[in-house]
Amino acid sequence: MALKVSLRNKKVVVVGAGGSGLAAARLAVRAGAHVTINDLARKDPADMPEGVETHFGGHPDELFRTADLIVLSPGVPPLAPVARAEETGVEVVAEVELALRFLDAGIGAVTGTNGKSTTVSLLGELLAATGRPAFSGGNLGTPLSDVADTPAGGPDGLIALELSSFQLEHITSLNSRVAALLNLTEDHLDRYDSFEHYCRTKLNIFQNSPQALVYNADDPLVVAGVAGVGAPKHGFSVLGTDTAFHLDGGELVFSDWSLRFPTRDMKLTGRHMMANALAAVGSALLMGVPPGLVGPVLADFGGLPHRMSYCGEVRGVRYYDDSKATNVGSVEGSLAGWESPYVLLLGGRHKGAPYTPLIPVLKKRCRAVVVLGESAALIRADLERDLPVHDAASFDDAVHLAAALAQPGDAVILSPACSSYDMFDNYKQRGARFAELVHQLLGGS
């Protein structure tokens, strides 16, 4: 497919040589730009896309000052040389912003502190069920830049787009058919100077007034945030029945489409997953997905790995991997409706928020908390007056200690409320190690 935008002879610097950065570089090359990939870490040039130059090991002012366009990968922290170049008039955009300039597809954009990946994955399945070219990704999975010259990016395409706060920092061209805000809780305070700053960044998803807005009516911060947005609003709720999309007893209800779906027929479980399903299906219906396609997709959708994934049962104790729960709000959502006693593994790299908001939900069912990683002392200080807290010397030790503390009928849950970077490359590696240790316990049972 021919690209709708030309960058012919433009000097483009892509910062960050991860998946999103490489995708942006490939797109810019295809659009005719002279591309330099810049990263603080030294990378193997053989792994770089054809037709690009590289500059590894630092961020020199001259590289950015002479650029026509700077493209930032989502994980890149604020850089002084980039800020100085921007002050002189050099345009700075996020990778997703670069991609949006090349797209003609109908977009369902989703953000929020928690639940984005599950919601976008389900929305993507619903869009694909129409038979039209469809894509789901962005922050999750495939970068948006890889879709620009595919049928899914064209006029007949449909896109379910996950947007993190990082991706929403330098974005101006989002014209979504539907924009959804799932929730707002404290996260990434190691990057933002305040929670208010983080929330303002999330609200960038509503720029250019989407055709329809989907929001969590159970979250007061979300309700306040969308109040001034000039777009038709559609709330979802698992606590009340006066919104467009809601949970009524054992059914998901979408009133305007006379659609009801029994939750007993779903593989997803838990109140937070019902909220994700309401947002995804509501967004799909607003994007034109026929109601008759919803039931089979919803019944078949089993969620994503590392989101309260069942790993096995050892001596009457069930083990769950919720490694994707990297902030306090996510852990609260996962455990709010938990019915059996459990031992909770908490800890990793601290993200700036206190752990005291967990106390009310943990006091209901939590038998003990095992703390680990860099944040262990902080978590202990916040929780030990209200809950039994045990220290682990390592990740493996934490799992074995939790197994020893649990009793038949209990669960052991890895839901860390922290990032994984103190011990692992990412949350997936952390979850995989947890599952591996559970399988070892199974072998010895």
- Which residues does the annotation mark as catalytic? 116, 139, 188
Instruction: Identify any residues that bridge with 345 across adjacent strands, giving them in sequence order.
Output: 370, 414
Burial 310-334 (b: 16+ CB within 10 A, else e): ebeebeebbbbbbbbbbbbbbbbbb
Yes or no: say if 197 and 217 are a contact pair by the CB < 8 Å rule: no
- The secondary element (H helix, E strand) that includes residue 218 is none
Yes or no: say if 141 and 211 are a contact pair by the CB < 8 Å rule: no
Which pairing describes strands 251-254 and 52-56: parallel, antiparallel, or unpaired? unpaired
CA 281 to each of CA 270, 289, 295, 392: distance values in angstroms, whole numbers, following the listed order: 17, 9, 10, 41
> Which distant-in-sequence residues (6+ apart) come within 8 Å of 396 by Cβ?
433, 437
CA dist 225 and 422 (Å) reads 33
- Give the sign of the dihedral formed by CA 393, CA 399, CA 402, CA 403: negative
> Which distant-in-sequence residues (6+ apart) come within 8 Å of 14 by Cβ?
21, 24, 25, 28, 35, 36, 37, 38, 52, 71, 73, 95
Instruction: Identify any residues that bridge with 245 across adjacent strands, giving them in sequence order.
Output: 236, 254
Yes or no: say if 6 and 28 are a contact pair by the CB < 8 Å rule: no
CA dist 428 and 445 (Å) reads 26
- Which has the closest alpha carbon to 23: 167, 129, 156? 167
> Which distant-in-sequence residues (6+ apart) come within 8 Å of 249 by Cβ?
none
Instruction: Identify any residues that bridge with 10 across adjacent strands, giving them in sequence order.
Output: none
- Which of 80-84's residues contact partners 24+ apart within 8 Å by CB, and which partners? 82/15
- Give the sign of the dihedral formed by CA 256, CA 261, CA 266, CA 268: positive
Yes or no: say if 365 and 338 are a contact pair by the CB < 8 Å rule: yes
CA dist 427 and 330 (Å) reads 14
CA dist 5 and 27 (Å) reads 10
Instruction: Identify any residues that bridge with 172 across adjacent strands, giving them in sequence order.
Output: none
What would the two tokens of residue 379 be? 């978590």
